[in-house]
Amino acid sequence: MISVATARELVTDNTVCLAPVTIPLKDSLGKALAGDIIAHADVPAFAQSAMDGYAFSFEDWHKESALKISGEMAAGAGEEKLVAKGEAIRIFTGAPVPSSVNTVVMQEKTRMVPDGLLIEDELLIRGANIRPAGSEIKKGELALKAGNQLTPAAIGFLAGIGLSRVTVYPDPAITVIITGDELQEPGEPLGYGQVYESNSYTLSAALANVGLSDVQVVQVKDNAQELTSAMERALKGSDLVLLTGGVSVGDYDFVIKAAADCKVQTVFHKIKQRPGKPLFFGKKGPAIIFGLPGNPSSVLTCFYMYVLPALELLTQRPLSLKTRQVPLVNSYTKQHALTHFLKGWYDGAGVRILDAQESYRLSSFAQANCLAELGVEARLYSEGEDVVIHLL
Ligand SMILES: Nc1nc2c(c(=O)[nH]1)N[C@H]1C(S)=C(S)[C@@H](COP(=O)(O)OP(=O)(O)OC[C@H]3O[C@@H](n4cnc5c(N)ncnc54)[C@H](O)[C@@H]3O)O[C@H]1N2
Ligand code: MOO
């Protein structure tokens, strides 16, 4: 069995980013840019009025004398107007500022008199209320760096500099294979020995939570042949395959055998941890595959601790849980020489280890806001002692 640290390293060393794709900008939310974006033109493309008001040449303005209004420029005006000496032009926000003027005054700071426009703005300076051409970004400048995640602001910014398509790391195609003869759909009556199938719900929700929806869920019986064909199909059509159950040593646990039959290269099987001790990780060609131990709490813990970091590498998005070192609010006796990931409640000061830590239960996970990581050593972890928590 390997340590948690080694397992983390092996996931990192064996996962590479997906091949970039060029997609419509409007479909790019949340994705990471696969290359630098360079502005191909000045933005704004012309000197632009920032206010509704009047444009004039600052040098021609004499405080006591009125300026004659000679025309108007609205946003979208397709033609430049010449403004003569001693004249002002009516102008609106977003309109191009003719090159014969250099200052805009807000209309609230002006007054109409019989011979024209009086400007009453003591603080007005040359160039006021004009957005110079290229003041957002100049042609040839770096707009966004490779790796930048496309937020609503980033998408708006790129549209504003004229882009309609971007090259990004795509969403991975994911197949979830649920194994187990005992599983029944929620909502249906339970027969003897049956349990409700919950792992596909947990995983679909955990994936949706990080914006991933290209997910196929397949359910197979505890049957070696059926599992092998499902795995083979999944490996062909997916970047990431997640299995739940069947990864331990029972007579009906076929994941390891199916992986071997599919010529999956085993990277590791079994980690010194609880929950999720029998976790399997392998790869075949560009696809990676996790065999998540079937217990519901093992599934979700392994998802957070190993699958999310793998997804981070595949997509180049910051998906891994954030960690923090905080003191324990209650003491905890750890009896096994395994790293423990314990459901906890972090109140901003310390972490309380919750009850119901068994891997078949999700009740405490459903209320937890973090997983506390307790080192491999079996001992009493005392109140006040610092531990690492992973924030959910
Ligand atoms: N002799 C040993 N037995 C077990 C060991 C061991 O080291 N030696 N390890 C135990 C540990 S730890 C774990 S974790 C489990 C992992 O077993 P599997 O991955 O083979 O999972 P299953 O046996 O198929 O299922 C375990 C448990 O989870 C329930 N389950 C499975 N799938 C679902 C689902 N989709 N939704 C809800 N519940 C599910 C299943 O009914 C079982 O109760 O092995 C231990 N055994
Ligand atoms: O390693 Mo298991 O997930 O504790 O029941």
pLDDT of residue 140: 98
pLDDT of residue 282: 98
For 225-255, what is each residue's pLDDT tens digit?
999 999 999 999 999 999 999 999 999 999 9
What's the predicted TM-score (pTM) here?
Answer: 0.94
Ligand 2 centre to CA of 236 (Å) is 29
pLDDT of residue 155: 98
> What's the gap between Cα 346 and its chain centre?
23
Ligand 2 centre to CA of 98 (Å) is 73
With a 6 A CB cut-off, is 340 part of the ligand 2 pocket?
no
- The secondary structure of the chain, three-state, reads CECHHHHHHHHHHCCCCCCCEEEEHHHCCCCEECCCEECCCCECCCCEECCCEEEECHHHCCCCCCEEEEEEECCCCCCCCCCCCCEEEEECCCCECCCCCCEEEEHHHEEEECCEEEECCCCCCCCCCEECCCCCECCCCEEECCCCECCHHHHHHHHHCCCCEEEECCCCCEEEEEECCCEECCCCCCCCCCEECCHHHHHHHHHHHCCCCCEEEEEECCCHHHHHHHHHHHHHHCCEEEEECCCCCCCCCCHHHHHHHCCCEEEEECECEECCCCCEEEEECCEEEEEECCCHHHHHHHHHHHHHHHHHHHHCCCCCCCEEEEEECCCEECCCCCEEEEEEEECCCCEEECCCCCCCCCCCCCCCCEEEEECCCCCEECCCCEEEEEEC
Ligand 1 pocket mutation pick from 248, 290, 336, 363 by most atoms within 8 angstroms of CB: 248
With a 6 A CB cut-off, is 296 part of the ligand 2 pocket?
no
pLDDT at residue 198 tops 90 = yes
Does residue 370 contact residue 391 with C-beta atoms inside 8 Å? Answer: yes
Residue with CA closest to ligand 1 atom 24 = 245
What's the token pair of residue 354?
């919750």
Ligand 1 pocket mutation pick from 295, 358, 362 by most atoms within 8 angstroms of CB: 295
The domains found in the chain, sorted by start residue, are: 4-19+171-315 (3.40.980.10), 22-41+138-168 (3.90.105.10), 48-131 (2.170.190.11), 323-391 (2.40.340.10)
What's the token pair of residue 171?
């969403």
For residue 200, which atom of ligand 1 is closest to its CA?
Answer: 35
pLDDT at residue 370 tops 90 = yes
With a 6 A CB cut-off, is 357 part of the ligand 2 pocket?
no
Closest by alpha carbon to 40, among 167, 150, 142, 168? 142
Please report which ligand is nearest the Cα atom of 249.
1
Ligand 2 centre to CA of 328 (Å) is 23
For residue 248, which atom of ligand 1 is closest to its CA?
Answer: 20
pLDDT of residue 312: 98
Burial class (CB within 10 angstroms; exposed 0-12, middle 13-18, buried 19+) of 196: middle
For residue 301, which atom of ligand 2 is closest to its CA?
Answer: 3
For 294-319, what is each residue's pLDDT tens digit?
999 999 999 999 999 999 999 999 99
* pLDDT, average across residues 90-96: 98
Q: How high is the mean pLDDT of the chain?
A: 97
Ligand 1 centre to CA of 112 (Å) is 84
For residue 277, which atom of ligand 1 is closest to its CA?
Answer: 12
Cβ–Cβ contacts within 10 Å for residue 354, how many?
18
pLDDT of residue 63: 86
pLDDT of residue 208: 98
Ligand 1 centre to CA of 148 (Å) is 40
For residue 273, which atom of ligand 2 is closest to its CA?
Answer: 1
* pLDDT, average across residues 56-65: 92
